[in-house]
Chain A
Amino acid sequence: MKKAQIETIGLLVIIILLIVLATFFVSLYLNKGDSSLPEARTSSKQSNFLNSINKINIDNKKVSDLVYDCYSTDNCNLLQQKLTEITNEFFRTTFSYTFKADNKEFYSFNTCKLGLTANYKFIKNQINFEIILKTC
């Protein structure tokens, strides 16, 4: 084999190696996993949680009654205490609640700046209420 032929083969080998390496890094780049699943799960958990707590009885009252009491009498202690107790059972992170009546915030507790949000809307005595839960 002549020297020129040997060098051509060497060059070919280098090119093949480069192609293999490029393919490997491209596949590495493309195979980055989808990280949206945990967020989707938390979001679904929040919605399920809000829907569920609005069906249960807390001291013979529904959550909607407690929210209405908080709005009309400014007595929000029971609402805050019970919601904190139940929410702590399901979410290990910090959370915050905001309550709105006809789109105006009338009560909130805890602070959570960045996080996922879920809401639950209901009408009581012709007032549109909204409960917003945010988990950090």
Chain B
Amino acid sequence: MTAQNSTKAQIEITETIVVLLIFLILLSLGLFYYYNYYFSSLEKQSLQLSETQATTLAASITSMPEFSCSYEQNCMDLSKLFAFKSVFERNKIYYSKKLENKYISLEFIYPKPTINQECINFLPCSFFNLNYPKQIKSQFTIDSPILIYSPYTKQYNLARLKITSYT
């Protein structure tokens, strides 16, 4: 009778241990998938936020008084763009906050530039670099067509505004 009781108790203990083990395995699997999903959704949200910020910046940069044309929307003034380099250097902290951690460039598309060179000191050129942060990891680039007004020739050029986000 005592031996029978002991065997029954042992079986019940083993049964409890197996149930506990299965429960723990299921729980850890559940937690693993939950955290996997949680972190991937966080990454996705961060990407979406960054994308929204870049889109907003692309829409608002042309209305900044540092670049905007006097009479036209979605347009940048060439003389202001040339002047911006020195303004940026003198107010680096302000602009790195305002333009965030984004690489911003302007590339002339039409008329096609004859020379492939960054625009400095009013010389013939093909692109402007407006903000170049210390990039760690490139996320994505958005581009938008934009007008560049030249007060020297009194004509508009078509350019591509490129904003690259970094994490």
Contacts and interface: CB of A to CB of B under 8 A. Distances in A.
B145 to A, nearest CB: 4
Interface residues of A, number: 23
B96 interface: no
B72 interface: yes
- What size tier do the contact residues of chain B reach? 20 to 34
A45 B73 CA distance: 14
Given A48-B144, A90-B145, A56 B158 contact: yes
Interface of B: 30, 34, 37, 41, 44-45, 48, 51-52, 55, 59, 72-75, 109-110, 142-147, 155-158, 160
Contacts of A81: none
26 contacts: A28-B37, A33-B45, A33-B48, A34-B48, A37-B48, A40-B55, A41-B55, A41-B142, A44-B55, A44-B144, A45-B143, A48-B144, A52-B74, A52-B145, A53-B145, A55-B72, A56-B110, A56-B147, A56-B157, A57-B155, A86-B109, A86-B110, A89-B109, A89-B110, A89-B160, A90-B143
Contacts of A53: 145, 158
A45 B145 contact: yes
Interface string A25-49: 0001001011001001100110011
A48 B74 contact: yes
Interface string A16-29: 00000100100010
